[in-house]
Structure 1
């Protein structure tokens, strides 16, 4: 309760806050790192495009509910399977098997380097103290941790869908999807607008802002946009609950395995576009369930508030049961048209190939 800090907080209230098992004093946005789950899949896919392993039409094994890798069966969240699909539909349905297959064709250290180039598992440099870096493992790390004979393949499979040892902060994910909205232009997150002293602006508080270009080609960016548009706007998409009158919605959901509880962590990250990209919203909810069924409705409220659609905001948020399949907002329809057949509205400000 912020009102506790309006005046000098009492010792009892301060002790209660610090002893609360929910840890309300922990700044989860910058200090807590989590597995990103399926919101990480565009990173995996973009490396596949960069290496020439996949293109718009590439299909791997048909998803039958999982993929056998060595002596282990890695499950897809949709037990009945998604069938055969290319990248755009793999994003729309959030099919794990597509990214499992792709990961086995990637070099792990290339994967780590690519992740860092996308400004994930690195500090954003926001003007707040104690920002956490996150983590992405290397071949050397696995060998030191599990022995030199460790099999890397299974670990790559986990990493490809944002599981395993990859850890990021919610702010890093939000900054990444902001760059996706801005055609690859990553801008350092910044909280403080300005400070004043003796009537003058202290510019050293606001400059410089670091900027980077994500290592995507414009064709890769277009395919990511198509997939994210299908997530909210095509039957079977995992965030069809996000509908914003007066704007086009681009979404990605995720449900990250949670070693501390029965329910997954729920992720949503996406943006809305009118004449230009407007705002990016990232919703992360600990121990909450599926990203599409839990976090997406919250993002929907935020987007609609921004657009002035107050009738939507006043309506109660309907959150489906949390023990449903962890990635979905609605059971994907295998007969729905593929995402590649949709017309994705262009986002203003498209850049040339990087």
Structure 2
């Protein structure tokens, strides 16, 4: 799901390829060609030129395609491995499932019987392809973003040495880079005016600040899965809770985000001894509970696909092969939903 795009952003920052204000050479017009393939953005009309902060806010596939290409598949795989995406987190649960993520270029040959396609890096850069992550793993990664670039090994039972195991995450991203990610994630839940709002604008909280990323995971067996990963805390203060939620079959990330917001509100209200507001979302303060502008505030957070051939167009510009991919996205096991889409 597009919740994984922050890993691509972190990898790009570690490599010195991007900062918060870095723009890519190709503006988003709804998709882009690369290596004989046409890769779509979820927003067919296109986002136009964006910097990294804007690309996080709008979840622009075309921006992250280009960042993935700049990184290269091997570097992106190595970064994902450092971030723990192909290992267990180390939590004190005997049945923890490990997510699926390539361990190297040769992994593709062993798994699929052929070398990765040149466009494979585009799929991986937006969380598609062979990339299936557990909710715990995504929560752990976002905890590192919230925790100034690091997060200890997760645990349930306090004991000597808890949190000090090899499952800790460390992002080699400087303060400026982390702030850029925070800004982009914060704008996901913000409203700036008509046609200028984040993909989870309906999830903004009145009392707390919610940072996060929506995502939609492709599911070949049925409806797509909706994702939201992020963190929250008092406005202007350090985040106090990280949260990741998946709702399976038929929902988009923008549908899931309000659930995460209510979870964060409940936890933070109880922690700070504040009565829990049963209607904590800012959307409930808008007249009649509707968006304060003419268009819908519900962003259809649909998954993207990389078509296997150069697209063909028929009479009137009709796209003859709009759907496809070098391979279908990896199916989700019950405890490990694939990161894909937006």
Asked if these proteins are the same fold (TM beyond 0.5), I'd say: yes
Contact in 1 for aligned 2:207/2:280 (Cα 8 Å) = no
Question: 2:228 is matched with which residue?
Answer: 268
Question: 1:90 is matched with which residue?
Answer: 55
Match among 211, 236, 243 for residue 250 of structure 1? 211
Give the RMSD, CA atoms, in angstroms: 2.8
Question: 1:326 is matched with which residue?
Answer: 301
* Cα deviations by residue, 1:149-168 (Å, 9 ceiling, x for unpaired): x4532111100010100121
Question: 1:300 is matched with which residue?
Answer: 261
- Partners of 1:128 and 1:316 lie apart in 2 by 38
2:186 maps to 1:229: yes
Question: 1:51 is matched with which residue?
Answer: 15
Question: 1:310 is matched with which residue?
Answer: 277
- Partners of 1:115 and 1:295 lie apart in 2 by 25
Deviation at residue 146 of structure 1 after TM alignment: 4.6
- Partners of 2:283 and 2:21 lie apart in 1 by 41
- Partners of 1:237 and 1:266 lie apart in 2 by 16
Pair 1:315–1:56, CA change in 2 (3 A): closer
Pair 1:314–1:144, CA change in 2 (3 A): closer
Deviation at residue 253 of structure 1 after TM alignment: 0.7
5+ residue gaps, structure 2: 270-274, 304-342
2:251 maps to 1:289: yes
Question: 1:277 is matched with which residue?
Answer: 239
Contact in 1 for aligned 2:153/2:163 (Cα 8 Å) = no
Deviation at residue 83 of structure 1 after TM alignment: 0.6
Match among 137, 144, 147 for residue 179 of structure 1? 144
Pair 1:272–1:59, CA change in 2 (3 A): same
- Partners of 1:302 and 1:75 lie apart in 2 by 33
Deviation at residue 214 of structure 1 after TM alignment: 2.2
Pair 1:314–1:51, CA change in 2 (3 A): closer
Deviation at residue 314 of structure 1 after TM alignment: 11
Q: Secondary structure at the match of 1:105?
A: helix
TM-score by structure 1 length? Answer: 0.72
- Partners of 1:104 and 1:316 lie apart in 2 by 38
Number of matched pairs: 278
Q: Which has the higher contact order (CA 8 A, sep 6+)?
A: 2
Deviation at residue 219 of structure 1 after TM alignment: 1.8
Deviation at residue 88 of structure 1 after TM alignment: 0.3
2:167 maps to 1:218: no
- Partners of 1:147 and 1:282 lie apart in 2 by 34
Deviation at residue 257 of structure 1 after TM alignment: 1.1
- Partners of 2:290 and 2:244 lie apart in 1 by 17
Deviation at residue 107 of structure 1 after TM alignment: 2.6
The higher radius of gyration belongs to 1
Deviation at residue 121 of structure 1 after TM alignment: 2.4
5+ residue gaps, structure 1: 1-36, 194-202, 329-354
Deviation at residue 313 of structure 1 after TM alignment: 6.0
Q: Secondary structure at the match of 2:210?
A: strand
Pair 1:324–1:188, CA change in 2 (3 A): same
Deviation at residue 239 of structure 1 after TM alignment: 1.0
Contact in 2 for aligned 1:66/1:76 (Cα 8 Å) = yes
Deviation at residue 48 of structure 1 after TM alignment: 1.4
TM-score by structure 2 length? Answer: 0.74
Where does 1:54-203 land on structure 2 (aligned, <5 Å)?
54-60=18-24, 61-137=26-102, 138-146=104-112, 150-193=115-158, 203=159
Pair 1:270–1:145, CA change in 2 (3 A): closer
Contact in 2 for aligned 1:121/1:167 (Cα 8 Å) = no
Pair 1:311–1:91, CA change in 2 (3 A): same
